[in-house]
Amino acid sequence: MLIETLPAVFQMDEILHALRDHIVGLNCGRWDYIFSYIKTLKNYPDRVLPDRQAVTMDKPFLNAYSRLLIKTCHKRGAFAMGGMAAFIPSKDEEHNNQVLNKVKADKSLEANNGHDGTWIAHPGLADTAMAVFNDILGSRKNQLEVMREQDAPITADQLLALVMVNAPKKVCAPTFAWLCSTSKRGSLATAVCRFMA
């Protein structure tokens, strides 16, 4: 089952319990989760996220989400699946290498965190994703033994953490233009102005 909303991340134990006779595991539905974060926290100008390419799974709030999902699933004997690599291979060799490197980095983070598997947006990425998981898992079929016990308890503050990036001003320009054209009160645009300053 996809955990793709901000409220659901706080209810994973309850979801696993309610579906205990039917569930196999939970999945980090990261793109919808990011959207839910934006939608849920839309009235908080300090929670405006930077452009999509800067919001990667190594950001504290997304990494906490991943680790909590693993910890919760494995404690209950359920599989913890990593999020979708939303990349498409390119016919241009240089661009394709960039895509494959992003997929490798993303899947390495997932496998090292303790995810049991992952999913991809295109079959052309399967070999890359499988190679990363095979390298980290070795002969193991899953990582149910990874309990994330070394983690301090993951708090609501971590799951709601601000995203700080060192992005050039031009990266935020499309977001800023969109906010200026759609924000009724201008609070989101103001937040982006502060971000860009």
Q: Are residues 107 and 194 located together in one domain of the fold? A: no
Q: Which residue bears the tokens 């609070």? A: 187
Compute the distance between CA of residue 195 and CA of residue 112 in angstroms, rounded to an integer: 31
- How far are the Cα atoms of 83, 101, 117, 135, 191 from residue 108, in angstroms, in the given order? 12, 10, 11, 9, 33
**Helix H or strand E encompassing 11:** none
Q: Are residues 155 and 106 located together in one domain of the fold? A: yes
Q: Are residues 144 and 84 located together in one domain of the fold? A: yes
Compute the distance between CA of residue 113 and CA of residue 109 in angstroms, rounded to an integer: 6
Look at residue 185 in the predicted model and tell me its pLDDT: 47
Helix (H, G, I), strand (E, B) or coil at 17: helix
**Dihedral sign for Cα atoms in the order 163, 166, 169, 171:** negative
Q: Are residues 90 and 141 located together in one domain of the fold? A: yes
Q: Are residues 104 and 28 located together in one domain of the fold? A: yes
Nearest partner of 120 among 136, 107, 111, judged by Cα:
107
pLDDT tens digits for 4-13?
999 999 999 9
Q: Are residues 8 and 29 located together in one domain of the fold? A: yes
Q: Are residues 118 and 53 located together in one domain of the fold? A: yes
Domain count, the chain: 2
Q: Are residues 174 and 146 located together in one domain of the fold? A: no
> What is the CATH classification number for the domain harbouring 87?
3.20.20.360
Pull the structure tokens for residue 8.
């659901």
pLDDT tens digits for 83-101?
999 899 999 999 999 999 9
Whether the full predicted model's pTM is greater than 0.75, yes or no, is yes
Look at residue 194 in the predicted model and tell me its pLDDT: 44
Pull the structure tokens for residue 135.
């390298």
Q: Are residues 153 and 89 located together in one domain of the fold? A: yes
Look at residue 15 in the predicted model and tell me its pLDDT: 98
Q: Are residues 158 and 180 located together in one domain of the fold? A: no
Pull the structure tokens for residue 168.
């050039």
- Find the domain containing 137 and state its range: 2-164
Look at residue 51 in the predicted model and tell me its pLDDT: 85
Q: Are residues 172 and 144 located together in one domain of the fold? A: no
Q: Are residues 183 and 92 located together in one domain of the fold? A: no
**Whether 78 contacts 115, CB under 8 Å:** no
Look at residue 181 in the predicted model and tell me its pLDDT: 52
The stretches in the chain having pLDDT less than 70 are 165-197
Look at residue 176 in the predicted model and tell me its pLDDT: 53
User: Residue 87 contacts by C-beta under 8 Å, 6 or more apart in sequence?
Assistant: 99, 102, 103, 121, 122, 125
pLDDT tens digits for 110-132?
999 999 999 999 999 999 999 99
